[in-house]
Amino acid sequence: MGTLACGKVHIMEYVISVLLSGISVGGQYALIAIGYTLVYGILRLINFAHGDVFMVAGLLGIYLTATLPIPVSLPLVIVFTVLLGFTIERAAYKPLREAPRMSVMISAIGVSYLLQNTATYVTGGQPMTYPTIPFLSDTVNVAGTQTKWVVIITPFLVLILVTFLTMLINRTKVGMAMRAVSKDFETSRLMGIRINSVISVTFIIGSALAAVGSTLFFTNYPAITPMAGAMPGLKAFVAAVFGGIGSIPGAVIGAFIIGICETIIKGLPSNWDVSVFSDAFTFALLIVILAFKPQGLFGEAAADKV
C-alpha cells in the first residue's frame, strides 16, 4: 500500500495509466475474441488454435517488416494470416464435420501444438522482438501520463472494425447466411446455404482481426515466443464466454472488462505479490460465469431437446 500513498496527483496519473492500458489490452483481446465467438457460434468449436494463429501473425509481422517496407508488409501479414486460418479450417476441421465434437476439439489442440512447435523450429526458440512501427510506437502524453499511440488508437480501431463487422453480419447476404448457420446448422444446409463457404468466411474474418490484433498487441509487448499466443487466446475465449458466446458486442465488452481487470491486478502494489494471479483471475471469472450465468452477459439461453 505504501506506493499508493504519494499524493493525489500520482493516484490520478496511476488511475489514468491503468485505465488506458486496460482499455488498450482489452481492445486487443476483443479482436481475438471475435474470432472465437464467430467460430463457436457456427461450429460449436473452441478453436484452440486461434491464439496460435495470432502468435504466427506476430511472427509474420517480424519477418515481413524485416524485408519489406511497412506499408507493404502489414497488409501482407493480414493476407498470410487469413490464408493460414483458411487452410487450417479446410485441412483440420472440414474433414471432421460429421465427427463427434470432441474429435474436432482434439484436432484444434493438435493444430495449436503444430503451430507452436513450428514456431519454435523457425525462430530457434528465441524470443523475437517486434519491430518498431512508426507512429504506433511513438509516445504521447495524455493527462500527464506517457503512453504509446497504440494505446490510444486501439479502442477506436476496435470500435470501427466492430461496427463494420456488425454491418456485414446484419446487412449482407453472407452475414445473413452466417446468422442462419449459427441458429441451425442442419436446416441451413437443407435450405441450400453453402455451409463450407460460410465457415470459410468466418475463419477469414476471425484471422484478419487476429492479424490486426497482433500488430497492436505485440507493439506494446517486449517479445514474441512460440507460447505467446496461448494465454491471450484463452483469455479472449473467456471474454467471448463472458459476453455470451456468439455475440460480437458481448465479446468486445467482455474483452474490455477482462483487459481492465487484468491491468488493475498487475498494477497493484508489488509487495502484495498478486501479479501471478493476473492470468488466473480470468479463469476464476470464467468459472463464476459458467456456474451462475452460463449463457454470459448477452448470450441466448439454449433449450435442449430430448
Q: Which residues bind another protein (CB under 8 A)?
A: 44-46, 91-92, 95-96, 99, 101-103, 105-107, 109-114, 116-118, 120-122, 124-125, 227, 230, 234, 237-238, 241, 273-274, 276-277, 279-280, 282-284, 286-287, 290-291, 294, 303, 306
8 A C-beta contact, residue 298 and residue 249:
yes
Could you give the CA distance from residue 286 to residue 252 in angstroms, rounded to a whole number?
A: 15
**Smallest separation (angstroms) from another protein to the CB of 188:** 21
Select 15 or 114, whichever has its Cβ closest to another protein. Answer: 114
* Surface-to-core class of residue 209, CB atoms within 10 Å of its CB (0-12 exposed, 13-18 middle, 19+ buried): buried
In the complex, what is the shortest distance from the CB of residue 184 to another protein, in angstroms, rounded to a whole number? 17
Q: How far is the CB of 96 from another protein (least distance, A)?
A: 7
- For another protein, the closer of residues 81 and 116 by Cβ is 116
Query: What pairs with residue 147 in β-bridges?
Result: 140
How many angstroms separate the CA atoms of 247 and 301, rounded? Answer: 12
* CB of 79 vs another protein, minimal distance in Å: 24
DSSP-H helix ranges across 44-148:
50-67, 70-88, 101-123
- 72/287 with CB nearer another protein: 287
The grid coordinates of residue 280 equal: 488466473
Q: What is the DSSP string of 2-64?
A: GGG-S-HHHHHHHHHHHHHHHHHHHHHHHHHHHHHHHHHHHH----TTHHHHHHHHHHHHHHH
Cell numbers linked to 65: 517488416
HSE-CB for 48 with a 13 A CA cutoff:
17
Name the minimum Å distance from CB 121 to another protein: 4
| Residue 1: Cβ-neighbour burial (10 angstroms; 0-12, 13-18, 19+) | exposed
Residue pointed to by grid coordinates 448470450? 299
**Identity at 74, one-letter amino acid code:** L
**Phi–psi pair at 147, nearest 5 degrees:** -150, 170
**Minimum distance, C-beta of residue 75 to another protein, in the bound complex (Å):** 28
Least distance between another protein and beta carbon 259 (Å): 17
